[in-house]
Amino acid sequence: MVQETIFSKIIAKELPADIVYQDERVTAFRDIDPKAPTHILIIPNKIIPTVNDIEAEDEAVVGYLFSVARKLAKQEGIAENGYRLIINCNQHGGQEVFHLHLHLVGGQPLGPMLSSHG
């Protein structure tokens, strides 16, 4: 049984969120604690807890997250300058909400991808 999360409630409109896009397959809303001028989370409406849980039948919706990210980046006016797409997985990845989500972050130079190892 897949565990519901705060994001399921946002999809169902049981919790408020600044939803910027929604259709039958995905929902996108602004992150409550933005790390850059644009910080949007794009999530499948189906609960897939982590990247580790993606199954073959999910490949289409996972690819679709990127199509929606591309459209939203253009809509936000950040496509030309560039942006970063991030998916965190489990503890070492820093995942906090166990409902797969693609972070779309941009609107300013984002600095190095990671702090140095070691």
Confirm or reject binding of residue 58 to ligand AMP (CB under 6 A): no
Q: Which of 39, 92, 99, 101 is catalytic?
A: 101
- Residue 78 vs 102, nearer CB to ligand AMP: 102
Applying CB under 6 A, among 14, 33, 55, 80 the residue interacting with ligand AMP is 33
Of residues 94, 109, 112, 118, which one binds ligand AMP by CB under 6 A? 94
Tokens of 50: 């982590």
b/e map 16-28, b = 16+ CB within 10 Å? ebeebeeeeebbb
**How many CB atoms within 10 Å of residue 62?**
17
Which residue, among 89, 6, 81, has the nearest Cα to 36 in the 3D structure?
81
- Per-residue binding string, ligand AMP, 70-89, x by CB under 6 A, is ------------------x-
Q: Does 55 bind ligand AMP (CB under 6 A)?
A: no
- From the list 45-53, 60-68, 69-77, 94-102, the region that binds ligand AMP by CB under 6 A is 94-102
Smallest CA-to-CA distance from 31 within 23, 42, 22 is with 42
DSSP 117: P
Nearer to ligand AMP, 57 or 115 (CB): 115
Helix (H) or strand (E) holding 105: strand 102-106
117 is a catalytic site residue: no
Catalytic residues, by residue number, are 101
